Chain A
Amino acid sequence: MSVYKHEYRAYTGPLTPLWARVGVIVRYAFAEAWSTRITATLFTLSVAPVIVYLVGIYLANNQLARTLIMRGSPMLTIDAGYFLKVLETQSWLALVLAAWIAPRLVSFDLADNALPILLSHPISRFGYVLGKLLALFACLSLVTWIPCLLLFAFQGYSSAQPWVMANLRIAGGVLASSLLWIAFLSILGLALSSWVKWRVVATGIIFAVVFVPAGIGGIITGILRTKWGFLLNAPVMMTQLWQRILGAPPTMQGDLYLPSTAIVTVLLLVCAACVLMLNARIRAREVVRG
């Protein structure tokens, strides 16, 4: 009879690179985001306006259809102003989607106390937040810059003139504006969600943080007759920024326009506050002793 001594043997096989491990968090967050029908419904509703804008582009480029359907209405122009409207619509729908998805990505892990398990793997807090951020970013991309650029491509294809090269600034502007907005929304959504364990409350707080200061900003602007109140008003502030990036014609009186540096500073300050909030909350432990 033989006696076999079983020695402990550590795993010595190949390992995937670090980015692939962040990918695990992204995949897991993506699955969580799309595990409910409400996400799919919101996504479908977010795509509906794109179809309307698509029809608009079709009509603008098809004289016969325009004559039949619009019956002599003024000519629809596809320009920076048109794409600004598309961008505005999609961006505010992205807010709704972010308010729904972001709490699912973080609040559940906090409520379930799952962070100690996740962070006892070779993934840092930064990697964890980055994974969640990328998942949310990808979800919001589906309703912002991707459909906007598809519309741009369709307009380029449908236009009789060489439209694309003459309007490349619109494509670049749409892309830059969307990326700016969804990056801002993603970090804001995750930061707020990390402080609230109840998902529904977190959703409400995300809306509140965008619209309550906007109301206060409106009051300040109205009473003090100053444009600086708009710095609290995200819808106005973002519209002004997007107009400049796309090169769209102004829609407000000139003296109500905020300097771009002021707008960017406010956005950066909010992002910095969000990073601090995430740093304080995304930890492997609470003060639990024993």
Chain B
Amino acid sequence: MNPMNDRILFENVSKFYGEVLGVNRVSLSIAPGVSTIVGPNGSGKTTLMNLMTGLVQPSSGRVSVLGLTPADADRFFRQVGYCTQFDSFPRRLTGMDFLMDALLLHGMSESEAFRLAREAMERVRLSDDAAGRRIEGYSKGMRQKIRLAQAIAHHPHVLVLDEPLNGLDPMARAESLALFQELSRQGMHLIISSHILDEVDRISDRVILITGGYIVAEGDIHQVRREVRDKPLQVLIRCDQPERLASRMFTDNHCVEARLHPDGRGVFLRTGDIDEFYRLLNAIAVEGLVQIEAVAPADDDTRAIYQYLIGSDGSPS
């Protein structure tokens, strides 16, 4: 089997809507696991998702999902489940009808569709009572869940989720994240776009940052952060004498900023050369100048990367 057949591949893909740029010259190779697409509004996240779900065709370049292209619709759509960002449904359908129709469109028989619909309802924790009610009467969280159920009901290999956490209460968000993690552990591709960076951060294996239709960074979040060399890294060091540690770091010229932790038992240090910084920290620990309890990077999460690379106004920095 071709090793690239377990990947979602974008080969120099551009998409223009008339004169409007969707995405430009995107090349990606997405491995199984949870990948998060992050970017400001209008950055091209949904276009990227529509391209990988075959809903729009690229203006140039090629997209393939597990070695399949949308031209092979039958096999392609069997592998892909899509949960759109739109809070919209065909009218007058109950939750069960919605799932049944979706599964029948996938080519399942009535009995098989019923079984899979019930299974999907259970997975997203929607009750039998909800299954028989019209979707118009659902709360926003329930609508989000039924969309998710529709996306996973036919057992796809690739799950594309556009803003799947919007409208969910904290409990439902935690349940959804747990479900995403479980699906990812089972070997599924999960492509998630979300603005709730802190929560997505916890389950993401890699991040794709996009702005203005261009990919600005892609890969493991810690690796991406290390590559952003022009922004000094921030490290939290828990120790018994944080002021003394900060003073020593400044003396050796390995620190550009220091901030005491609010509880007084740690210090946030910012450095432009992380390798040299850690070498010096080791030396200090060996000297016994301070008792170091813990060392952890403080700004290599998605939020920090987003701010560094995209900026709060969404323009590239």
Q: Give the interface of A toward B (CB within 8 A).
A: 6-11, 13-18, 20-21, 24-25, 28, 31-32, 35, 108-109, 112-114, 116-124, 283-285, 287-290
Contacting residue for A113 out of B17, B43, B88, B107, CB 8 A: B88
Contact B46 A288, beta carbon cutoff 8 Å: yes
Which residue of chain B lies nearest to A28 when distances are taken between CB atoms in the complex? Answer: B101
Tell me the bound Cα distance from A65 to B89 in angstroms.
Answer: 57
- Does the CB pair B46–A289 fall under 8 Å? yes
Is the beta-carbon distance between A11 and B77 smaller than 8 angstroms? no
Instruction: Tell whether A120 pairs with B53 under 8 Å between CB atoms, given A24-B101, A289-B46.
Output: yes
Chain B, range 86-121, C-beta contacts under 8 Å to A: 86, 88-92, 101-102, 104-109, 112, 116
The CA of A16 and the CA of B91, in the complex, are separated in Å by 25
Query: Is there contact, CB below 8 Å, between B108 and A120?
Result: no
Apart from A13-B109, A20-B104: 14 A-B pairs, beta carbons within 8 A: A8-B183, A8-B186, A11-B78, A16-B108, A28-B101, A113-B88, A114-B88, A117-B102, A122-B78, A122-B105, A122-B107, A287-B20, A290-B40, A290-B44
Contact B74 A122 (CB under 8 A): yes
Tell me which of A7, A8, A25, A119 has the highest count of chain B C-beta atoms within 10 A of its own C-beta.
A8
Q: Is B188 an interface residue (CB 8 A)?
A: yes
Q: B77 contacts which of A13, A121, A288 (Cβ < 8 Å)?
A: A121
Q: Which of B53, B89, B101 contacts A112 (CB 8 A)?
A: B89
Complex formed: what's the CA distance from A223 to B80 in Å? 61
User: How far, in angstroms, from A17 to B116 measured CA to CA in the complex?
Assistant: 19
In angstroms, Cα B84 to Cα A285, docked, is: 11
A122 to B72, CA, bound (A): 9
CB-CB under 8 A from B73, the residues of chain A are 122-124
Indicate which residue in A8, A20, A114, A124 contacts B157 across the interface (CB closer than 8 Å): A8
- Interface range on chain B: under 10, 10 to 19, 20 to 34, or 35 or more? 35 or more
What residues on A are CB-neighbors of B90 within 8 Å?
Answer: 28, 108-109, 112, 114, 117-118
Q: Is the CB of B42 within 8 A of A10?
A: no
Bound Cα distance A262, B56 (Å):
39
A124 to B56, CA, bound (A): 12
Residues of A within 8 A of B74 (CB): 15, 18, 122
In the bound complex, CA of A185 to CA of B157 (Å): 42
Instruction: Report B310 CB to chain A, min CB distance, Å.
Output: 13
Say yes or no: B186 contacts A284, CB within 8 Å: no
Report yes or no: A7 in contact with B156, Cβ–Cβ below 8 A: no
Number of A-B pairs, beta carbon distance below 8 Å: 133
Question: Using Cβ atoms and an 8 Å threshold, which residues of chain B touch A113?
Answer: 84, 86, 88
**Top 10 A-B pairs, shortest CB-CB distance:** A15-B107, A8-B186, A284-B55, A290-B41, A113-B88, A121-B105, A120-B82, A122-B77, A11-B155, A113-B86
- With a cutoff of 8 Å between Cβ atoms, the chain B residues found around residue A9 in the complex are 155
Shortest CB–CB separation between residue B272 and chain A, in angstroms? 34
User: Could you tell me if B50 and A284 are in contact, using CB atoms closer than 8 angstroms?
Assistant: yes
Q: Which residues of A contact B116 (CB under 8 A)?
A: 11
Q: How far is the CA of A31 from the CA of B100 in the complex (A)?
A: 15
- Within residues 22 to 52 of chain B, which ones have a CB less than 8 A from any CB in chain A? 22, 39-47, 50
Would you call B132 an interface residue if the criterion is a C-beta within 8 Å of the partner chain's C-beta atoms? no
B311: interface (CB < 8 Å): no
> At the interface, is chain B mostly helix, strand, loop or mixed?
loop
Enumerate chain B residues within 8 angstroms of A116, measured Cβ to Cβ. Answer: 50, 55, 82, 84, 86
- The answer to whether B50 touches A32, judged by C-beta atoms less than 8 angstroms apart, is no
Q: Is the CB of B150 closer than 8 A to any CB of chain A?
A: yes
**In the complex, what's the smallest C-beta–C-beta distance from A264 to chain B, in angstroms?**
34
CA distance A33 to B79 in the complex (A): 32
Compute how far the CA of A116 lies from the CA of B102 in the bound complex, rounded to whole angstroms.
12
* A–B complex contacts, Cβ < 8 Å, 29 sampled: A6-B186, A8-B155, A10-B155, A11-B78, A11-B154, A13-B109, A14-B109, A14-B112, A15-B74, A15-B106, A24-B101, A24-B105, A32-B92, A35-B92, A112-B91, A113-B84, A114-B90, A114-B91, A117-B82, A117-B86, A120-B80, A121-B102, A122-B73, A123-B105, A284-B55, A287-B20, A289-B44, A289-B47, A290-B39
- Which residues of chain B are within 8 angstroms of A118 by Cβ–Cβ distance? 90, 105
Contacts of A112 in B (CB 8 A): 88-91
> Is B187's CB within 8 Å of the partner chain A?
yes
CA distance in complex: A103, B20 (Å): 30
State the CA gap A289–B76 with chains docked (Å): 24
- Closest B residue to A124 by beta carbon equals B73
In the complex, how many angstroms separate the beta carbon of B69 from the nearest chain A beta carbon? 13
Given known pairs A7-B186, A10-B155, the reply for A285 and B50 (CB within 8 Å) is yes
CA distance A9 to B152 in the complex (A): 12
Q: Which residue of A lies closest to B150 (CB)?
A: A117
Residues of chain B with a CB closer than 8 A to A285's CB: 46, 50, 55-56
The smallest beta-carbon distance between B290 and chain A, in angstroms, is 43
Query: In chain B, what residue has the closest Cβ to A123?
Result: B105
Cα–Cα distance between A32 and B91 once the two chains are bound (Å): 8
Q: Chain A nearest CB: distance from B232 CB in Å?
A: 31
Taking a contact as CB atoms closer than 8 A, the residue among A32, A108, A120 that contacts B55 in the complex is A120
Write the nearest CB–CB distance from B11 to chain A, whole angstroms.
Answer: 21
Interchain CA distance A113-B116 in the complex, whole Å: 25
Interface centre among A14, A32, A114, by most chain B C-beta atoms within 10 angstroms, is: A114
Measured in the bound complex, the distance between the Cα atoms of B49 and A285 in whole Å is: 11
Interface flags, B49-70, vs A, CB<8A=1, else 0: 0100111100000000000000
Set of chain A residues within 8 Å of B50, measured between Cβ atoms? 116, 284-285
CB pair B104 A21 closer than 8 Å: yes
What is the bound-complex CA distance between A285 and B48, given in angstroms? 12
